[in-house]
Amino acid sequence: MTQNKTPLLALTNIVTKVNVGTPNEVSILQGLNLDVYDGDFITVLGSNGAGKSTLFNTIGGSLPVDSGSIKLNGKEITHLSVEKRTAFLARVFQDPKMGTAPRMTVAENLLLAMHRGKRRTLQLRRLKQSLPHFKEITTTMKNGLETRLNTATENLSGGQRQALSFLMATEQRPDVLLLDEHTAALDPKTSAELMHQTNERVTQEKLTCLMITHHLDDALKYGNRLIVLDQGKIKFDVRGADKDRLTKEKLLSFFDTIE
C-alpha cells in the first residue's frame, strides 16, 4: 500500500537524550522516523524503556528534541510549546488523576476542554447553556457520568474519570489524539468498556490517533496500523490488510527476536 499524500504528522530523525552533558547521558529516541496519515488509528507497542512515552512527550512538546524535526501538515512544529500544540493535539494520560481537575465539577472540566488551545478571555463561561450538550455526550459513555455533571471529579470512580478525560480530549476535534495507556489503570471490565467507546468514537469521527497499549489483543483488535518500538526506533510497522493478518503468535515471536 503506497501513501502519496503528505503525512498529517511527520517525525524525521528524532533524537532525544536525557542527562545531557553528564556521564549518564542516554539517548532514548535514536533517529526515529514516523509518518502519520490523516485518519490513521495506530496502536503502539514496545517493552518498558523502548521509548513509547518519550515518543508521546516529544509529539506533545513536554520533552524537547535534541535533533530532528516534527511537522504537522508540512508545517514545522518542532519547537512549539506544549500550550500552543494543544490547538491541534489532545492527550489522555494513563493516570486518572492527571487528566481532570479534581476540585472542579465534571461540567466545569468539560467546559474548560471546550476551549482547548483557544485564548481565554474575560467572557463569562456560560456553563448552564452548555449543560444539555454535556448531558448528551456523557450519556454516550454509558457509565452514569451524565448523572454526575455537578460532582467534583475527585469523587468519581477511576473509570468515570478516564471516560471524562477521553471526552474532554475529543470534545474539540483534535487533529491528532494521543492515548497513553488510557485504560491501563482500570479493572478489566471497565477497561474493555472504555476501549470499546474509544474505538467507536475514533472510527466514527475518523480521528487520527496514536494509542500506547500493553495488551497485544487490543493492539491487534483496534486500529488500522500497528507499530512496535524498540531501543528508540520503530522496528515494526504494519497497516491495513497486513495488520489484519497479523496474529498474537507472530507478534510474540517477533518480540522474542528483538529481546
Partner 1 sequence: MSMIVSSIGQGLLWASLGVALFLTFRILDFADMTVEGTFPLGAAVAVTAIANGMNPYLASGLAFIAGALAGLVTALLYTKGKVPILLAGILVMTACSSINLRVMGGSSNVSLLGKTTIFSGAFLKSLPKYFDSVLVGLVVIAIITVLLIVFLQTNLGQAFIVTGDNRVMARSIGINTDNMTIMGLMVSNGIIGLGGALIAQNNGYADVSMGIGIIVIALASIIIGEVVFGELTLNQRLVAVTLGSVIYQFVRLLVLQLGFNTNDMNLLSALILAICLMLPRLSKALHLNHVIKKGVAKYDAE
Query: Which residues make up the interface to partner 1 (CB under 8 A)?
Result: 60, 62, 82-84, 86-87, 90-91, 93, 97-104, 108, 111-113, 115-118, 120-125, 168
Residue 81 beta carbon to partner 1: minimum distance, rounded to whole angstroms: 8
Beta-ladder partners of 228:
45, 236
C-beta closer to partner 1: residue 41 or 93: 93
Residue 104 beta carbon to partner 1: minimum distance, rounded to whole angstroms: 6
Angle subtended by helix axes 106-114 and 127-139, to nearest 10: 100
Identify the residue whose cell numbers are 491495513. Answer: 240
C-beta closer to partner 1: residue 174 or 223: 174
Residue 228 beta carbon to partner 1: minimum distance, rounded to whole angstroms: 26
C-beta closer to partner 1: residue 45 or 92: 92
Q: Copy the grid coordinates of residue 240.
A: 491495513
> Which helix (H) or strand (E) is 31 found in, with range?
strand 26-36
C-beta closer to partner 1: residue 2 or 81: 81
C-beta closer to partner 1: residue 125 or 214: 125
Residue 222 beta carbon to partner 1: minimum distance, rounded to whole angstroms: 23
Residue 53 beta carbon to partner 1: minimum distance, rounded to whole angstroms: 14
C-beta closer to partner 1: residue 127 or 192: 127
Contact assessment for residue 95 and residue 102, using Cβ atoms and an 8 Å cutoff: no
Q: How many CB atoms lie within 10 A of CB 204?
A: 8
Residue 11 beta carbon to partner 1: minimum distance, rounded to whole angstroms: 20
Identify the residue whose cell numbers are 474493555. Answer: 192
Separation CA 238–CA 216 (nearest Å): 14
Identify the residue whose cell numbers are 475527585. Answer: 154
Contact assessment for residue 251 and residue 213, using Cβ atoms and an 8 Å cutoff: no
Separation CA 183–CA 145 (nearest Å): 17
